Structure 1
Amino acid sequence: MFLGDGMSLPTLAAARTLLGQRAGRPGEESQLSFEAFPTVGLAKTYCVDSQIPDSACTATAYLCGAKANLGTIGLTAAAPRGDCAASQRRANRVHSVAAWALDDGRDAGIVTTTRVTHASPAGAYAHVADRDWESDAAVRAAGADPRQCPDIAHQLVHSHPGNRFKVILGGGRREFLPEHVEDEEGAPGLRADGRNLIEEWQADKARRNATYHYAWNREQLLQANATLPDYLLGLFESSHLRYNLETDPATEPTLAELTEVAIRSLARNERGFFLFVEGGRIDHAHHDNHVELALDETLELSAAVARAAELLDERDSLLVVTADHAHVMAFNGYTHRGGDILGPSDDADSDGVPYMTLSYANGPGHRRAEGSKRPDVTQDADYRELRWRSHADAPLASETHGGKDVAVFARGPAAELFAGVLQQSQLPHIMAYAACVGDGARLCDAHSAAPERD
């Protein structure tokens, strides 16, 4: 399952246009790798208690198969955000398709460009009343007891199903290290309990007499790709991985490279595997109104999907690509065919002031009007630099999510079931049916036992 965090429909249209324009074409006719998949549907993204979702309640939906409350992960809507006691009640917990796969003898793993403890990947393994409880210090700061409600990093290392993931690749070293310990690049940890969870992960694998490898840079990852240990943990930044356009390729792997290593590792299990891959920084760039970064991160996800499609046979491997929620980037104006997707519209407002083809309904890109006219953003001193902010209507410190449906693309066994307008929480149940795991196993058994009809 590939997840473009915040990958709205306008983001897809703009990203494919940028892809073509980078190749010297008009752009609009271009196609992202997964847009060639035979099945396309839409998913409704709302939370139980919120019209506009976040990445926590949506992760619970598309990975665990249940709608949830804003900010909660791996819990039913009976657990309010921040309620530690409610999160510990077994009846309030829901389990992910990754756990269903493991229980059936498959392998599982996660890959992300965010912290591996961030909301989206945490949906694969955590049960937590607040998505911000990534380390014990965050649990304590909220007035809860981490001994009663373990933090997300602790759950990944010590609890089922995270402690059985064969591959964990992303960022977030700080959530695993004590406050007094600096990581390989000099950034301090955040943990207040004095525990080094990276070392505890290594010790756990040693006790199992398994081969294991911890990587913090690209070279070490490629070494692991050559040897393929039983377990692989890669944490490549203190927090999130850097944006592709701002990274150092000598030290930080691409999402496609991470995906290939994960697939090669997990594919050794003859029974199969479940892998979650997130292009998580699409969302972060949108929140900051950095439209070029958001579109480029979308292209990186497309490249990762293309690599997976090359490695996996369509006859026995289901690939699903979707988003968790939308954003409020607008693709607007009456620009001529092939017009610069990152430039101004051919049109102008009623005062004759230019506006951008891609702009935002709200966010940090707001410019206050001087007099009765909007400011001309094309006159900004940093206009079109990588971190130049496109115009936003309502001023906010961070651009918001949108409530629009998101696309679902599928290729492989049972792909046709992803067509139509779906509840987001249906997605893992369809995947489970295709793989015959979890509740889907009973449906598979019933289907195979049904008499054939003439």
Structure 2
Amino acid sequence: MQTQRSLMCGLLTLSLPLLANASALPEHQTSNPWYTDGQAQLASKLARTQSDNAKNVILFVGDGMGISTLTAARILQGQMNGQPGEEGYLSFETFPYTALVKTYNVDAQTPDSAGTMTAMISGLKTDVGVIGIDEDVERGSCASVSGNEVMTAIELAEIKGLSTGVVSTARITHATPAATYAKSADRNWEDVSDMPQDAIDGGCEDIASQLVNFKANLEMRIAGAHVDGTEVAFGGGRRHFLPKDPTFNSADAVSSTEGDRTDGRDLTAEWQASYPSGSYVMDQAGFDAIDPASTDRVLGLFNESHMQYEADRDNDVAGEPSLTEMTSKAIDILDNNDSGYLLVVESGRIDHGHHAGSAYAALTDTIELAEAVQAAMDATDPDDTLILVTADHSHVFTIAGYPKRGNPILGKVVAVGQTEPTLASDGMPYTTLGYTNGRGFADLGDETNADLRYDLADQNGRMDLSGVDTTTPGFHQEAVIPLSSETHAGEDISLHAMGPGAHKAHGVIEQSQVFHLIEQALGLVQQ
């Protein structure tokens, strides 16, 4: 095997001068930008250096961000900037190392976010719908939790003395962010009102309470551990932290009673009591007032439920920060620790846009994730910070037909050499983007809140789009199979890596290997 590898390397070395010999190829070929770009990219790869040990790690998770989502978002980003779109890259697509990731759960061919994020943050696959517990758990059974809990990279980083942070545009108690700090037999146990009585009687703790009690719980589980708790938690989901009592409503509450908790606990007050020097914020003004240089800990709950879609963020009642702003602020706080940090950032609403059948919502949130990654790149040193960008799963989202180069990605298919939309066999135009299943077509015009689709009746199958502007924010693509919402898909997703240890991200890997990239870069497990 070694001889074969040496021979292959020798052939590569011998072939490079031939490729560089311009006299062997016509000048119009060697001067073509596609040709010269290929040469430059190969030279860049050959010049790479590799290191293993990182001071900091940032893991970005685009929830539901499959390969077709990346492609469509890349094109949309370019077209929003006046370009054809296909030639561009999202910020993280320029990272030097990439792998394909298998996403299945132990018990499911097509996965959910609880099992997939547990794999990425704990190093082992588990079942659908459970958080921070191995496959021996029975979903919904409190009694099956004890003895099957697993350690997360966030917990290991805390034990090592690193700072830690969790950021999400979803509820901070939702499956993906919750998997970084909680152990739950059911992802839906976000607060005590969501739990069956036998689980409460059995001593299981709801997810929101586990976030507030993260420090105490970790020290109780690990003998001799002394940690200071997560320094940054930004996201939505305020309702799970407040009592079901309108007197506890926040200034921007949209429900008559914002809180859901039936145990009377105000977890925001409990968090503040545990961390008197920490800052609790709930809107843009509070967020902007945070001074990263003097803030050692912050809890930000910016919405009653999930935060807004990026496209709809300006319509928030009290204002809320973007994913890019939250990422930048988190880094500025966490890097106060000279020992380093581990930060997990989720763009949760990519997934929700797809579930609602809105390519516009999903793609604009993907573009915002790319902006957040760029902000992280700008704020860190590539010599000491490993940045990983991946997804937990994909969606049944397709790019189809034969549209010409530069055709609006949200538009109707117009073939090469044509100026009018191509007609299908039924005599009607069709869009480049579509969904296999879901609620189907809707035309909400300029509406930027994709979730309003759920208020309307299903319209599955083919629709006459001749008079419909499919590029508006409120257009929801056609879907064939009628379901209450569009579903996840089971194909591989991508992992993009730069920084120390990034070279280990290559090939086709199990999703649980993401944890091992983080662990080895930071040296979290003592040998």
TM-score, scaled relative to structure 2: 0.79
Q: Is 1:428 equivalent to 2:515 in the alignment?
A: yes
Match of 2:412 among 329, 334, 344: 344
Q: Is 1:377 equivalent to 2:465 in the alignment?
A: yes
Letter in 1 for 2:400: N
Whole-angstrom CA distance in 2 between matches of 1:257 and 1:364: 33
1:184 alignment counterpart: 251
Q: Is 1:78 equivalent to 2:146 in the alignment?
A: no
1:448 alignment counterpart: none
Q: Is 1:203 equivalent to 2:265 in the alignment?
A: no
1:158-205, Cα deviation, whole Å (9 max, x unpaired) = 134597100000111100000013122134100000000000000001
Structure 1 gap segments, 5+ residues each: 443-454
Q: Is 1:289 equivalent to 2:360 in the alignment?
A: no
- Measured after TM superposition, the shift of residue 393 of structure 1 is 1.0
Q: Tell me if the contact between 1:139 and 1:146 (Cα under 8 Å) persists in the aligned partners.
A: no
Whole-angstrom CA distance in 1 between matches of 2:513 and 2:172: 24
Moved more, 340-349 or 93-102: 340-349
Whole-angstrom CA distance in 2 between matches of 1:60 and 1:146: 25
Q: Secondary structure at the match of 1:224?
A: coil
Q: Once the two structures are aligned, what percentage of the paired residues are identical?
A: 43
Structure 2 gap segments, 5+ residues each: 1-58, 219-226, 415-421, 442-458
Match of 2:118 among 43, 52, 60: 60
Q: CA 1:217–1:50 in 2, change beyond 3 Å: closer, same or farther?
A: same
Q: CA 1:378–1:111 in 2, change beyond 3 Å: closer, same or farther?
A: farther
Q: Is 1:239 equivalent to 2:326 in the alignment?
A: no
Whole-angstrom CA distance in 1 between matches of 2:201 and 2:193: 8
Whole-angstrom CA distance in 1 between matches of 2:85 and 2:77: 7
Bigger Rg over Cα: 2
Match of 1:113 among 169, 184, 191: 169
- Measured after TM superposition, the shift of residue 383 of structure 1 is 4.7
Letter in 2 for 1:198: T
Where do 4+ consecutive residues of structure 1 move more than 4 Å? none
1:259-279, Cα deviation, whole Å (9 max, x unpaired) = 011001111111111000000
Letter in 1 for 2:118: T
Letter in 1 for 2:278: Y
Q: Tell me if the contact between 1:136 and 1:146 (Cα under 8 Å) persists in the aligned partners.
A: no
Q: Secondary structure at the match of 1:31?
A: coil
1:242-296, Cα deviation, whole Å (9 max, x unpaired) = 1111112771111011001100111111111100000000000000001101000
Moved more, 76-85 or 384-393: 384-393
- Measured after TM superposition, the shift of residue 387 of structure 1 is 2.4
Letter in 2 for 1:408: L
1:338-383, Cα deviation, whole Å (9 max, x unpaired) = 00000011243222321110000000115456xxxx3223445x75
1:80-139, Cα deviation, whole Å (9 max, x unpaired) = 21111111x12x111111111111111111000001000000110000000000000001
1:164 alignment counterpart: 229
Letter in 2 for 1:80: E
Whole-angstrom CA distance in 1 between matches of 2:504 and 2:65: 21
Whole-angstrom CA distance in 2 between matches of 1:146 and 1:38: 51
Whole-angstrom CA distance in 2 between matches of 1:25 and 1:355: 23
Q: Tell me if the contact between 2:107 and 2:127 (Cα under 8 Å) persists in the aligned partners.
A: yes
Q: Tell me if the contact between 1:183 and 1:189 (Cα under 8 Å) persists in the aligned partners.
A: no
Q: Tell me if the contact between 2:460 and 2:480 (Cα under 8 Å) persists in the aligned partners.
A: no
Whole-angstrom CA distance in 2 between matches of 1:4 and 1:377: 31
Q: CA 1:175–1:147 in 2, change beyond 3 Å: closer, same or farther?
A: farther
2:74 alignment counterpart: 16
Q: Tell me if the contact between 2:440 and 2:460 (Cα under 8 Å) persists in the aligned partners.
A: no
Whole-angstrom CA distance in 2 between matches of 1:426 and 1:198: 35
2:196 alignment counterpart: 140
Q: Secondary structure at the match of 1:343?
A: coil
- Measured after TM superposition, the shift of residue 144 of structure 1 is 2.4
Q: How many residues get paired?
A: 428
Q: Tell me if the contact between 2:357 and 2:438 (Cα under 8 Å) persists in the aligned partners.
A: yes
Whole-angstrom CA distance in 2 between matches of 1:178 and 1:146: 20
- Measured after TM superposition, the shift of residue 425 of structure 1 is 0.4
Letter in 1 for 2:338: E
Cα RMSD (Å): 1.6
